[in-house]
Amino acid sequence: MAVGGTGHPAIAAPADLFQPERTNSIGIDLDDAVILQETAAQIARPVQLDKQTTVAPEGAVTKALAAYPAWSNTPLDERADCLERLADLLETHRSRLMAILVQEARKTIPDALSEVREAIDFCRYYAARARTDLCAVELPGPTGERNILRHEGRGVWVAIAPWNFPLAIFLGQVAAALVTGNTVVAKPAPQTPAIGQFAVALAHEAGVPEDVLQIVTGGGDVGAALTADVRIAGVVFTGSVPTAKAIARNLLADDARPLVPLIAETGGLNAMIVDSTALSEQVVRDIIISGFQSAGQRCSALRLLLLQEDIAEHTLEMLRGAMDMLNVGDPADPATDIGPVIDQDSYDKLMAYRAEVKDRIVHAIDVPAQGLFVPPTVIRLDNLDDLNREWFGPLVHVATWKAGELEATVARVNAKGFGLTMGLHSRIAGSSALVENLARVGNLYINRSMIGAVVGSQPFGGEGLSGTGPKAGGPHYLYRFCAERTTSVDTTSAGGNASLLSLE
Ligand code: UN1
């Protein structure tokens, strides 16, 4: 894309470090009849929770602390080997993992397959990055001195994962913390404990010692107990803004407590801006994917569609037609495009909001009467200021803007304070450069859908109310899990013995 005139520095060619297994987490090829058959057979087996693996938060931190010295001294290559073996095991158990995702997280089969692929990508990517990025390096310095920079583990990390990516985000957090030499107490979301338990069992099978990675299941009280524990060295969290803030307060509550990092990835109020030069078919396809795939239950999902006035009616007409073709139903059926939402609570909140705004519904489609199916819905916004929060479901709000208002429109989206994803559909190079320059989001998608960030290619994460960074699946993520330590030696006073300092 053109970057001239935006004030960005030149773009360096990407390092050929890692090739993701998949092209992206949407639009996958489901012709693989074997996967479908295997997954269907697995779906017939009930999901079982392993009560044995569940321990109390305090005891888990105690064990993780005791396990830390040996794990942090385990050579980096051996830790990376564990992640690669885990990736292999995830491949071997792909159909079972997919079946649990369908049953427990109510994922459609395509969503389940792409999530397993993303989990594999995270393990392989962080293993590869760790091998190249975490080696000790010698830094330049004055004559007679040597300076060595090392990246080492910090201690015990608490990893708190969401139910919407209970395998990929769960393992992404865990893999990053482990490979950098930390021990981990992981808490899956209360809606999705079984997939977390299976993933942890596979990690143990891959060679991660049991006390190095433990799982503690439960709700907010368990998360609060873990993050209130003054012995932990960091928290990595994906979930809601209020929970992220509660964790931050917990980490600061005790004056005597060490300062520790919080890596948070939270919500978004993600807008797609469409101008009159955009290709309508492409726009409609990308609205459907971004707004309704995964029943809109992705923090990257489209929430606010901003159509240039001249093309609004035409685009909405086409969108109605495309929505009518969507198949909402049983996620275990391979023909299903959109499944139910995660639980009754989520269903009730979304349906109550829909009832509140029923006079502004532009279009909605029929869904099965039984089950937690929220109809994919487009809702008119008369005023952009009327939407200031994220609705985590298949609800897309639409508003219009006038020619000449592109800059002001981006500014109004920025002003909402979130900063996760933004989409632009335009064939004007100057407009994409302008939006690229102005948008305060972690992930800007131009002329494509706004979901399905590819590990290693599209590091994912936002700013403002959307999170702290660094971005998951990106080249700087691992560093945040590390303590950075430099050692400087005066080699003259040591008799010129440079070997006092090793790069080991
Ligand atoms: C989330 O919903 O918490 O880009 C993250 C995507 C996914 C990440 C979603 N890889 O849609």
pTM confidence score: 0.93
Any ligand 1 atom below 6 A from CB of 452: yes
Which of 82, 123, 299, 482 does the annotation list as catalytic?
A: 299
DSSP string, 45-62: SPP---GGG---HHHHHH
Q: Is the peptide bond before 140 cis (omega within 30 degrees of 0)?
A: no
Taking residues 86-109, report their average pLDDT: 96
26: Cα separation from own chain's centroid: 14
Q: Find, among 419, 432, 424, the residue nearest to 461 by Cα.
A: 419
Per DSSP (E only), the strands in 342-481 are: 361-364, 377-380, 395-401, 421-425, 443-446
Taking residues 308-332, report their average pLDDT: 96
Radius of gyration, alpha carbons of the chain: 24
CB 451 within 8 A of CB 103: no
- The whole-number pLDDT of residue 157 equals 98
- The whole-number pLDDT of residue 54 equals 57
Packing angle of the helix pair 309-324, 280-292 (nearest 10 deg): 60
CB 359 within 8 A of CB 381: no
C-alpha of residue 286 to centroid of ligand 1, in Å: 15
- The whole-number pLDDT of residue 497 equals 57
- The whole-number pLDDT of residue 3 equals 39
Which pair of tokens denotes residue 277? 């030069």
Interatomic CA distance for residues 431 and 409, integer angstroms: 12
Interatomic CA distance for residues 279 and 271, integer angstroms: 18
Interatomic CA distance for residues 433 and 422, integer angstroms: 14
Which pair of tokens denotes residue 427? 């064939």
Whether the pLDDT of residue 239 is over 90: the answer is yes
CB 99 within 8 A of CB 43: yes
Active site (annotated) includes residue 265: yes
The percentage of the chain sitting over the pLDDT mark of 90, rounded to a whole number, equals 83
Any ligand 1 atom below 6 A from CB of 247: no
C-alpha of residue 300 to centroid of ligand 1, in Å: 5
Interatomic CA distance for residues 64 and 227, integer angstroms: 14
Distances (CA, A) of 109 to 113, 121, 302, 332: 6, 18, 21, 6
Q: Which secondary-structure segment (H or E) carries 272?
A: strand 270-274
Active site (annotated) includes residue 58: no
C-alpha of residue 453 to centroid of ligand 1, in Å: 7
Q: Which amino acid is at 80?
A: A
C-alpha of residue 118 to centroid of ligand 1, in Å: 10
Per-residue pLDDT of 457-504, as tens digits, reads: 999 999 999 999 899 999 999 999 999 999 999 888 655 555 555 655
- The whole-number pLDDT of residue 40 equals 76
Any ligand 1 atom below 6 A from CB of 431: no
Q: How long is the chain?
A: 504
Q: How confident is the model at residue 25 (pLDDT cuts 50, 70, 90)?
A: very low
- The whole-number pLDDT of residue 143 equals 82
Taking residues 75-82, report their average pLDDT: 98
Tokens 């980096």 sit on residue:
76
Please provide residue 291's backbone torsions phi and psi, each rounded to the nearest 5 degrees.
-90, -35
Kind of pairing, strands 234-238 and 213-215? Answer: unpaired
Q: Which amino acid is at 260?
A: V
Interatomic CA distance for residues 54 and 103, integer angstroms: 21
How many other C-beta atoms can be found within 10 angstroms of the C-beta atom of residue 201? 16
Distances (CA, A) of 45 to 48, 96, 99, 102, 262: 9, 9, 9, 12, 38
- Residue 204 exposed, middle or buried by CB count within 10 Å (0-12, 13-18, 19+): middle
Whether the pLDDT of residue 331 is over 50: the answer is yes
Residues contacting 240, CB < 8 A, separation 6+: 266, 267
Mean pLDDT estimate for the chain: 91
Which of 82, 265, 390, 482 does the annotation list as catalytic?
A: 265
Whether the pLDDT of residue 17 is over 70: the answer is no
Mutate to test the pocket of ligand 1, among 451, 455, 471 (most ligand atoms within 8 A of CB): 451
Interatomic CA distance for residues 317 and 324, integer angstroms: 11
Q: Find, among 462, 441, 397, the residue nearest to 267 by Cα.
A: 462
- The whole-number pLDDT of residue 36 equals 72
Residues contacting 403, CB < 8 A, separation 6+: 276, 308, 309, 310
Bridge partners for 486 per DSSP: 149
Mutate to test the pocket of ligand 1, among 120, 240, 265, 300 (most ligand atoms within 8 A of CB): 300
ipTM for the predicted complex: 0.94
Per-residue pLDDT of 347-365, as tens digits, reads: 999 999 999 999 999 999 9
Taking residues 247-255, report their average pLDDT: 93
Interatomic CA distance for residues 247 and 315, integer angstroms: 42
C-alpha of residue 34 to centroid of ligand 1, in Å: 27
Q: Greater confidence, 241 or 499?
A: 241
Taking residues 291-308, report their average pLDDT: 98
